[in-house]
Amino acid sequence: MTHGRLSRRHAFRLTGAATAASVLAGLTARPATAGVSPAQPGAPLARVAPPVAAFALSDVRLLPGPFADNQNRTLSYLSFVDADRLLHTFRRNVGLPSTATPCGGWEAPDVELRGHSTGHLLTALAQAFASTGDSAYQAKASRIVSALAACQAAAPAAGYGRGYLSAYPESFIDRVENGQQVWAPYYTLHKIMAGLLDQYLLAGNQQALDVLVAKAAWVKARTDRLSTARLQAMLRTEFGGMNEVLANLYLVTGDQNHLTTATRFDHAEIFDPLANRLDRLAGYHANTQIPKIIGAIQEYQATGQARYRDIATFFWDTVVGHHTYANGGNSNGEHFHAPDAIASQLSDSTTECCNTYNMLKLTRQLFRYDPSRIDYLDYYENALLNQILGSQDPASAHGFVSYYVPLRAGGIKTYSNDYDTFWCCHGTGMENHTKFGDTIYFHTDDALYVNLFIPSELTWRDRGLVLRQETRFPTQPSTRLTVRQAGGTALALRLRVPSWVAGADSVRITVNGVAQPVSARPGSHVELNRVWRAGDVVELTMGMSLTLEPTPDDASVRAVRYGPVLLAGEYGGSNLTALPRLQPDSLTATGQPLVFRARANNASVTLSPFHALHHQRHSVYWRIG
């Protein structure tokens, strides 16, 4: 890939065929494993401390429900997948023996992107260990890290630079530096580096940090010799979040060299217009850009330079406000298009799942710097519920995932498989479904934020608090919070009241059965201050209503929601050729939760939650009037 505008699927044909969230949790909470070396003594912490902090992923356990179901299917895949098959190309690349069967898809030995999935696997295994406490995931990852360390040690004898580690030869880096065609070598390096960092932060693997530091030194040595002009030319290719992982490594180690290298991946062609509040995203490959912006917000934390924050904030406002579909995703054919072009950009290749994975990472970080912006959480909920949750095939024991989520009339979801896809979204899919607990709750020293309504149990060790959230949301528009253990001190409980709530008068909050006289404005946090005791119960009930959401470029094209739930028409095997014409006044409840009937194209159609529609054709958008 010589430019981010080239489709990765197209690049795949041409070739012949982790995470900042974890970093911040690692910096703001306890290590995942006792005895793990922390940041170097005296190492500087973040120049900018966010006003709200994340809990460690290990502090939250999912309870039974659809999110836990998705997680369990992915855990089955993580246990099943043969790491030696993924390591085959790493070993062969440095002359080490391997008898494993090579993988197919984007990990095939002749595909230039090979190696990226191993990085995703390391992150997913780290998250699986943190999310469940099951040491089998830690042990499997430890074996992978040891194998990668052996490959790195063998690199000089194979003719590569000291610290080099990948599944492809170092000549790929020569090619990208010289402007020659090659498929995104730094993209793959970022995935491996992020996986190593997550192994250190979430699974306590010191060897992973050692391998990563050596690899980061190799990146610095390679980029030391490049002029600014040559670097900027190289950055017109897809390079993942190299600035993100290097800034995070600086925050962990305090080594200024990592921050110096991170800033070399600041892409002026993208950053400069955003810094000047200009939307010039049209025509750019979407998922090439989003990781750069996650890097920007991490560089803000590392440096305190407001320009980085402004770039990230304006990018988010622009993408969510002018390039986002009803399900929270963005892009058509993997690219951004003209601002507000939605109805004109419906196809089988809308809303790439990697984009949404990265937008959720960015959103999570931005909220931590400005917790007054409930729109961050509204977006997060929308994208998590209406794209990510439904991107996994519930009929697959191994949690196969989608690449695109088609939004054309008559679209149908397709899925990965065990060994013959390994798309980018296969990799981020492993990560998506092992970290659902990372944004449900945030905190300050004296306040607990309840952001999402997902069955879970939080252990806040520093405050001696255990909180259990039981809910069937969104099937039922309510949640129940039970204090199972309390430290006996005053604490503010801040409950999110989403913007979709059907009016303040539809919100009811009780504590131990007693209604609370609090203002519950949609799009705000409601604060309950008291000394909490074991056995206290808080119940939140919110009103939902049907809404028809117009597209910005054609008001006659609309999506149907019930509360936060995006509804889609069930069309079985019917491959529609145009948007169905919906009669809005025909929408009626069926008696089944979240299921409605309506008339469209003079025929009856069932509308049900889009996240639950699989193995049949659907319509998310409708022609009205």
- 466 and 426 assigned to the same domain: no
Last residue within a domain, chosen from 520, 541, 562: 541
Q: Which residues contact 321 (CB under 8 A, 6 or more apart)?
A: none
- pLDDT average, residue stretch 197-211: 99
Strands 53-54 and 447-450: what pairing?
A: unpaired
Tally of domains within the chain: 3
Backbone angles phi, psi at 619, to 5 degrees: -135, 120
- 417 and 527 assigned to the same domain: no
> Is 404 a residue whose pLDDT tops 60?
yes
Stronger pLDDT, 503 or 554, i.e. the higher one: 554
Give the percent of the chain with pLDDT over 70.
Answer: 93
Helix (H, G, I), strand (E, B) or coil at 575: coil
Q: What is the mean pLDDT of the chain?
A: 94
pLDDT band (50, 70, 90) for residue 18: very low
Model pLDDT for residues 296-321, shown as the tens digit of each residue = 999 999 999 999 999 999 999 999 99
- How distant is the alpha carbon of residue 608 from its chain centre? 25
Last residue within a domain, chosen from 492, 515, 541: 541
User: pTM for this one?
Assistant: 0.94
Spatial distance between the Cα atoms of 389 and 66, rounded to a whole number of angstroms: 8
> Is 67 a residue whose pLDDT tops 80?
yes
pLDDT band (50, 70, 90) for residue 519: confident
> Is 323 a residue whose pLDDT tops 70?
yes
Q: Which residues contact 409 (CB under 8 A, 6 or more apart)?
A: 346, 576, 577, 578, 579, 580, 619, 621
- pLDDT average, residue stretch 446-472: 98
pLDDT for position 46? 57
- 462 and 550 assigned to the same domain: no
Measured between its terminal Cα atoms, the distance across the chain in Å is 45
pLDDT band (50, 70, 90) for residue 488: confident
- Give, in degrees to the nearest 5, the angle at Cα 558 between 556 and 559: 170
- pLDDT average, residue stretch 502-517: 95
Question: Is residue 532 situated within a structural domain?
Answer: yes
Stronger pLDDT, 27 or 131, i.e. the higher one: 131
Yes or no: say if 122 and 145 are a contact pair by the CB < 8 Å rule.
yes
**CATH number of 448's domain:** 2.60.40
> Is 453 a residue whose pLDDT tops 60?
yes
Yes or no: say if 44 and 323 are a contact pair by the CB < 8 Å rule.
no
- Identify the CA nearest to 334 among candidates 355, 312, 316: 355
- pLDDT average, residue stretch 89-103: 99
- 431 and 574 assigned to the same domain: no
Spatial distance between the Cα atoms of 58 and 36, rounded to a whole number of angstroms: 15
pLDDT for position 45? 45
Question: Is residue 51 situated within a structural domain?
Answer: no
Yes or no: say if 362 and 326 are a contact pair by the CB < 8 Å rule.
no
- pLDDT average, residue stretch 14-37: 36
- 468 and 576 assigned to the same domain: no
> Is 25 a residue whose pLDDT tops 90?
no
- Identify the CA nearest to 285 among candidates 243, 322, 236: 236
- Identify the CA nearest to 379 among candidates 242, 500, 236, 474: 500
- pLDDT average, residue stretch 98-111: 99
- pLDDT average, residue stretch 19-48: 42
> Is 20 a residue whose pLDDT tops 50?
no
- 513 and 605 assigned to the same domain: no
Yes or no: say if 237 and 175 are a contact pair by the CB < 8 Å rule.
no
- 526 and 551 assigned to the same domain: no
- Identify the CA nearest to 363 among candidates 12, 9, 21, 61: 21
pLDDT for position 489? 79
Spatial distance between the Cα atoms of 255 and 12, rounded to a whole number of angstroms: 37
Q: What share of the chain is helix, strand, coil (3-state, %, to 5)?
A: 40, 20, 40
> Is 173 a residue whose pLDDT tops 70?
yes
Model pLDDT for residues 564-584, shown as the tens digit of each residue = 999 999 999 999 999 999 999
Model pLDDT for residues 331-378, shown as the tens digit of each residue = 999 999 999 999 999 999 999 999 999 999 999 999 999 999 999 999
Question: Is residue 512 situated within a structural domain?
Answer: yes
- Here the tokens at position 597 are 């009937």
Yes or no: say if 115 and 90 are a contact pair by the CB < 8 Å rule.
yes
Model pLDDT for residues 148-165, shown as the tens digit of each residue = 999 999 999 999 999 999
Yes or no: say if 403 and 352 are a contact pair by the CB < 8 Å rule.
yes
Last residue within a domain, chosen from 400, 424, 439: 439
Backbone angles phi, psi at 612, to 5 degrees: -100, 0
Question: Is residue 57 situated within a structural domain?
Answer: no
Residue 462 amino acid letter: D
- 159 and 266 assigned to the same domain: yes
Query: Quick one: three-class SS letters along 497-556?
Result: ECCCCCCHHHCEEEECCEECCCCCCCCEEEEEEEECCCCCEEEEECCCCEEEEEECCEEE
- pLDDT average, residue stretch 121-126: 99
pLDDT for position 477? 97
pLDDT for position 39? 36
- 434 and 324 assigned to the same domain: yes
> Is 21 a residue whose pLDDT tops 90?
no
- Give, in degrees to the nearest 5, the angle at Cα 348 between 346 and 349: 90
Name the least confident of 176-190, 477-491, 546-560: 477-491
pLDDT for position 256? 97
Helix (H, G, I), strand (E, B) or coil at 8: helix
Model pLDDT for residues 580-595, shown as the tens digit of each residue = 999 999 999 999 999 9
Strands of the sheet containing 447-450, edge to edge, are 53-54, 441-443, 447-450, 490-497, 524-531
Alpha helix ranges (H) inside 236-337? 242-253, 256-263, 268-275, 286-303, 306-322
pLDDT for position 30? 37
Question: Is residue 22 situated within a structural domain?
Answer: yes
- Identify the CA nearest to 20 among candidates 194, 210, 265: 194
- pLDDT average, residue stretch 72-85: 99
- 16 and 125 assigned to the same domain: yes
Question: Is residue 293 situated within a structural domain?
Answer: yes
Question: Is residue 397 situated within a structural domain?
Answer: yes
**CATH number of 406's domain:** 1.50.10
Range of the domain at 515: 442-541
> Residue 508: how many CA atoms within 13 Å on its side-chain side?
13
Question: Is residue 498 situated within a structural domain?
Answer: yes
User: Is residue 591 exposed (0-12), middle (13-18) or buried (19+ Cβ within 10 Å)?
Assistant: exposed
Strands 447-450 and 490-497: what pairing?
A: parallel
pLDDT for position 10? 39
- 559 and 457 assigned to the same domain: no
- 385 and 508 assigned to the same domain: no
- Here the tokens at position 610 are 């889009």
Query: Quick one: three-class SS letters along 174-236?
Result: HHHHCCCCCCCHHHHHHHHHHHHHHHHHHHCCHHHHHHHHHHHHHHHHHHHCCCHHHHHHHCC
- How many CB atoms lie under 10 A from the CB of residue 180? 11
